[in-house]
Amino acid sequence: MAQSNPPFMSGVPELLLLRLLDQQEMYGYELVRSIRKVTGEAISLGEGVIYPVLHGLEKNGSLRSRRKAVAGRTRVYYALTRKGRDRLDKLRSDWHRIQGGITTALENPSHA
Amino acid sequence: MRDPDFARLRARLLENGIPRRHVRRTLGELEDHYRDLMEEAAVNGASVEDARAQAAARLGEMDDVIAGMLACRDLRSWAYRYPRIAVIFYPLACLFALPAMPVIAGVSNAPLLARWGASLLLAGLFTGTMLLVLQLSILFG
């Protein structure tokens, strides 16, 4: 069955992609496989939606891409730029702040 | 299950102002991804038909890809991002380009024009010579 993931488009993919590309350059299919692996398949997405996110990040300077021939195919590899690293730091601190707030709210509902 | 509708994806992106080069690249990446998914399914023992179905399901709806691309304003061509400027710029550009068009056409078709000019010159010389011969034969004949 086809998967549709509007929630996936709300900032989580950006964070995950930047985090994964901080370690090494990867192409789209490889990135999705890594997302499935590192999230323990908790995040299941229509894999095609990764490309608009990647292209948007490249356009705003967070990523750069290069074509590389691998096993008879030309892959588009993405890598993080310095701007992307700054963006990752910001998203990561935002995520921890929000996660902390939600955890507090869940554990102490009377304070909410 | 059918293959993902890449043709429709292409058409929708182009008609919504995503530059042609970018559309080509997006399609290339998606088709490669689809092929990778089919190969993965085949390695896991799926039949060709099952592999196609699984790959299409995992790639997801092309409508989501279209929505994602169109939501990112920076991916659209400048004429779509700044339509008011485009409305002024394009007619002005045409106005200035119009006088240059014959020159550009001449330069790009230089060999053809040279052949055409040479033929015209030869035809003129031949006709002139014939008329001259005729005139001389009347005068001295």
Domain ranges of chain A: 6-111
Q: What is the pLDDT of residues B28-74, one digit of tens each?
A: 999 999 999 999 999 999 999 999 999 999 999 999 999 999 988 88
Give the ipTM of the model, two decimals please.
0.81
How far from the centroid of its chain's Cα atoms is residue B44's Cα? 41
- Cβ–Cβ gap A55/B69 under 8 Å: yes
A6-111 CATH pick, 3.40.50.300, 3.30.1360.120, 1.10.287.610, 1.10.10.10? 1.10.10.10
Q: Which of B36, B62, B70 to mutate to test the interface with A (most CBs of A within 10 A)?
A: B36
pLDDT for the residue numbered A2: 39
Give the CA angle between residues A78, A43, A69 to the nearest 5°: 25
Residue B22: closest CA among A77, A56, A13, A46 = A56
* Inter-chain touch B4–A1, beta carbons under 8 Å: no
Predicted confidence (pLDDT) at residue B133 exceeds the cutoff of 90:
yes
Q: Is B69 on the interface with A (CB under 8 A)?
A: yes
pLDDT for A64: 96
Mean of pLDDT values over B10-35: 94
Does residue B11 have a pLDDT over 80?
yes
Q: Does B39 touch chain A (CB under 8 A)?
A: no
CA distance B29 to B26: 5
pLDDT tens, residue by residue, B52-63: 999 999 999 999
Residue B3: list chain A partners with CB under 8 A: none
Q: What is the pLDDT of residues B75-110, one digit of tens each?
A: 888 888 888 898 898 888 888 888 888 888 888 889
Q: Are A3 and B58 in contact (CB under 8 A)?
A: yes
- pTM for the predicted model, two decimal places: 0.73
Taking the CA of residue B104 and the nearest CA in chain A, the distance in Å comes to 34
Q: B1: pLDDT confidence band, cut at 50, 70 and 90?
A: low
**CB-CB neighbors (< 8 A) of A73 in chain B:** 32
